[in-house]
Amino acid sequence: MDNVLGYQGKRAVVTGAASGMGAATAEVLAELGAEVIGMDRAPIAVAVQQAIAIDLLDPASIEAAAGQIEGDVHAFFNCAGLPGPPFTDLETMLVNFIGGRQLIETVAPKMPSGSSIVYVASAGGIGWQSNLAAFMDLFATDGYGAGKDWLEAHPELWEGNGYAASKQAINAWTAWRSVGMMRDNGIRLNCTNPGPTSTAMMPFFHDAVGKSLVDAAMGPVGRYSTPEEQAWAMVLLGSERASYVVGESLYADGGFYGALQTGQIDFSHLMPSD
């Protein structure tokens, strides 16, 4: 059976294509025969059909980047993101959620029924359900500026915790927004929750929370994942073969979530030591 995952001749947009998971996803999609449009604020080295500069902190740049896409988009992978420190919590919320949401909403009208969106969240977003009421209020905001204003008026949701809050927001938004996207446009929206992955972002996590805490989030696989492993999880989720998978959070975390849910992770290792 040829073209098992159905990407041959399809147009795919990948953000964060300059590095890590986004670069790996762009490469896998190209190998599968897709026409890949890469987006990033940094130069894109992997072979893509079109490279578009974008700064997800800047709504004008988001609008301009989306405007450079010609024709239909069949698959969208939003991999760009910030790790938290040394970036501020607000910057992290804006790039990881407000900017990502804005780009997705701007590109969605170019996506025909049957197409799919995969948004990279994180295992760091576990527990998002406890903040759902606040997130639903945020999701009612329309556009980048309104989303930013809401965040500035509600620092209690994210201050001191920008990375986890941004990833919780992605999980919650995926669950909520997938309904309208499917009902109105036939688009499947899902997200992935990667565990620790060996990319350029990892040293920032080690600096921010300590290597031992990151290592404790490895799960029973007992190692960090590669960007290629995260890319394949995304590519499988975005494939038309996953046509009945909608609004899901896929944990690509080496078994961490299952272990956590069933009490097989020692919580004391998860707390930063004083």
Ligand X SMILES: NC(=O)c1ccc[n+]([C@@H]2O[C@H](COP(=O)([O-])OP(=O)(O)OC[C@H]3O[C@@H](n4cnc5c(N)ncnc54)[C@H](O)[C@@H]3O)[C@@H](O)[C@H]2O)c1
- Could you list the residues that contact ligand X (CB under 6 A)? 16, 18-22, 40-42, 54-57, 79-82, 95, 120, 122, 194, 196-197, 199-202, 227
Give the shortest CB-212-to-ligand X separation in angstroms: 15
Return the number of the residue (6 or 22) whose C-beta is nearest ligand X: 22
Give the shortest CB-1-to-ligand X separation in angstroms: 31
Give the shortest CB-95-to-ligand X separation in angstroms: 4
Return the number of the residue (5 or 79) whose C-beta is nearest ligand X: 79
Return the number of the residue (214 or 245) whose C-beta is nearest ligand X: 214
Return the number of the residue (7 or 256) whose C-beta is nearest ligand X: 256
Give the shortest CB-114-to-ligand X separation in angstroms: 25
Give the shortest CB-201-to-ligand X separation in angstroms: 4
Give the shortest CB-83-to-ligand X separation in angstroms: 6
Return the number of the residue (48 or 56) whose C-beta is nearest ligand X: 56
Return the number of the residue (16 or 254) whose C-beta is nearest ligand X: 16
- Nearest alpha-carbon partner for 76 in 8, 33, 26, 6: 26
